[in-house]
Structure 1
Amino acid sequence: MLVYFLTLISAYRIILSDQPDVVVATPARIVPLLQSKAVSLQSLETLVIDEADLILTYGHDEDVQKLFKGGYLPKLHQSLLMSATMTEDVVTLKGLALRSPAILRLEESKDEAANLTQFFARCTEEDKFLLTYVILKLKLVKGKCLVFVNDVERSYRLKLFLEQFSIRSCVLNPELPLNSRYHVVQEFNRGAYDYIIATDEASHSA
């Protein structure tokens, strides 16, 4: 595990050596990098926390506390919280990240909401792959598509299943090296694949 962690730190250090203008990370990723001094936020100008109403409930509470109380942030910077709802977690986060904040409320356009349609289909576990094949083969979902599954093993099983019917797809999961994940997204954007099978859950196998 130490070897993996050090390798991960080295990979991020190389990427961040280009001094990007924007860095996107989860609290669980950025805090170890800060602790190991692989990255510094002292020149940070703007901190944006997306999904502010969910980030604490996703298990990032401890890392968020470390981020704001560990002395990693410069005294002068702008903080933005993005949230779909105003929950107790947002109030807690607001107390950590903001000082005398201005609140901007965006009203959802009824016309735009009217254009959205949601569907779901009930099926047995055995029929899920078959139903996915039918939906993709009949082009019931048009254009590029993200298919989310429960874990890494299922993502590869679905990919192999679809390949039997000449449906090309790529897999995106947290067990892939960082450069591989970047390459997968590039290939998807380039049009090499129309379907990404994604999961944020690691494999349950030992």
Structure 2
Amino acid sequence: MSNQPDTITPTAAPSTKPAVERLRFDQMELSSPIQRALAEMGFEFCSPIQEKSLPFSLSGHDVLGKAQTGTGKTAAFLIALFEDLLANPAPEERYGGEARALVIAPTRELVMQIASDAKIIGKYTGLSVHTLVGGMDYGKQLQALHSGHVDILVATPGRLLDFCEKREVYLDQLELMVIDEADRMLDMGFIPQVKRIVRMAPAKTHRQTLLFSATFSDDVLRLAEQWMLDRVTVEIEPESVATDTVEQLVYLVSGDEKFTLLNNLMAREDVTSLMIFANRRDQCRRLHEKLRKKGYRVGLLSGEIAQAKRIKTLDDFKAGRIQAIVATDVAGRGIHIDDVSHVVNYTLPEEPEDYVHRIGRTGRAGSSGQSISFACEDDAFLLPDIETLLGRKLECLQPPDELLK
């Protein structure tokens, strides 16, 4: 596909041939189970990250990939992973909990999404996919892990270490390791945990390592130097940092006016599904409660919410049972929800990249969307860095009078 989301759904529309000649999946020597699944999903053309990385990853090279969310990188590493496992059958004698391939991701939502995508791509391979995430029942995850051999393990760092330390999971037989969203791992303080996980795996001379990041900071490059062998670096610059299908508005307001503005926005008929972002958990909690008291059907997504409840919230939102979700940036990456009509930045993000990830929740799959940011005296100073990243000025407006009544 020419513009695949990282999230893969079996109902993805078939791609049309892009103006610039792209590599077709059927031109690659992929196994029949993978080709069959990709054809069913409507995947005809490789996205740029897939076209540039797959020739190297399929031939066994370590790959350091720079690609934004929504560029198809999840499929890029999953295809390479499945092809290697299919080409190199597992030994006849295997112990329970011995994973052959590992994907580490920073958030529970992203792990669940990657695992879901893996099950779709690998549906005809006969290979098993297991997940380990915090916030969900440990016993149930352990039971699932012991239900059969572990071909592919997708996990958050903390919960994976729990299972390793209890000797329920073993990483010494890993053939491939994928580290996704490395820059986010750094931001969230997970790198010490990831370093411990890497030390449990075979040496970099005896495994293939794929590392993906939205940015190549000095810290990310240092980690790649430590963890990878003779790596190939692939950089995909987004054609547009912010999608052209998203109308971006910035309303200049006081802090006291923000909730009134949000309340009136939500009452508009065209605001059918809305994601509201704030920077801190306590801000999200207060906002969620105030909206519920106003009678809105609204959910909450943040790191303190139990995983089962977060999954139900997402399902309710996708099904239209709730109108809005209030979220921290934990929901800004790795989650794909079709038909989000509006995104509101109740507080401007402190990292400019998070602005791009937030507004990317709308205007997907060719549909249009609207992003509305509230800039007050406390966070308007964050706008210049966002504009620098976008490469253009954002028009700052006074809200219409009817939205402040």
Q: When the two structures are superposed, what TM-score results if normalisation uses the length of structure 2?
A: 0.40
Please say which of residues 89-98 and 22-31 is displaced more in the overlay. Answer: 22-31
Decide which structure has the larger Cα Rg and report it. 2
The one-character-per-residue Cα deviations of 1:82-133 (angstroms, maximum 9, x if unpaired) are 2233221121221233212222222322597444443333433322222222
Amino acid in the other structure paired with 1:50: D
Q: Distance in 1 between matches of 2:247 and 2:199?
A: 43
Give the alignment of 1:1-206 within 5 angstroms: 9-10=138-139, 12-14=141-143, 16=145, 24-41=154-171, 46-71=176-201, 77-110=207-240, 113-138=243-268, 142-199=271-328
Q: CA deviation at 1:165?
A: 3.7
1:204 is matched with which residue? none
Q: CA deviation at 1:162?
A: 1.9
Q: CA deviation at 1:81?
A: 1.6
The one-character-per-residue Cα deviations of 1:113-158 (angstroms, maximum 9, x if unpaired) are 4444433334333222222222322256x55332223444433332
Amino acid in the other structure paired with 1:147: I
- Gapped runs of 5+ residues in structure 1? 202-206
RMSD (Å) for aligned C-alpha atoms = 3.6
Q: Distance in 1 between matches of 2:146 and 2:203?
A: 19
Q: Distance in 1 between matches of 2:136 and 2:245?
A: 46
Amino acid in the other structure paired with 2:214: A
Q: Distance in 2 between matches of 1:147 and 1:6?
A: 23
- Whether the aligned pair in 2 keeps the contact of 1:42 and 1:74 (CA below 8 Å) is no
Q: CA deviation at 1:72?
A: 7.4
Q: When the two structures are superposed, what TM-score results if normalisation uses the length of structure 1?
A: 0.72
Is the partner of 1:55 in helix, strand or coil?
helix
Is the partner of 1:59 in helix, strand or coil?
coil
- Whether the aligned pair in 2 keeps the contact of 1:52 and 1:89 (CA below 8 Å) is no
1:14–1:112: structure 2 CA closer, same or farther, 3 Å change rule?
A: same
User: Percent same amino acid at aligned positions?
Assistant: 25
1:85–1:126: structure 2 CA closer, same or farther, 3 Å change rule?
A: same
Q: CA deviation at 1:169?
A: 0.7
Q: Distance in 2 between matches of 1:124 and 1:15?
A: 51
Is the partner of 1:119 in helix, strand or coil?
strand
Amino acid in the other structure paired with 1:191: G
- Whether the aligned pair in 1 keeps the contact of 2:171 and 2:200 (CA below 8 Å) is no
1:6–1:136: structure 2 CA closer, same or farther, 3 Å change rule?
A: closer
1:192–1:7: structure 2 CA closer, same or farther, 3 Å change rule?
A: closer
- Whether the aligned pair in 2 keeps the contact of 1:44 and 1:73 (CA below 8 Å) is no
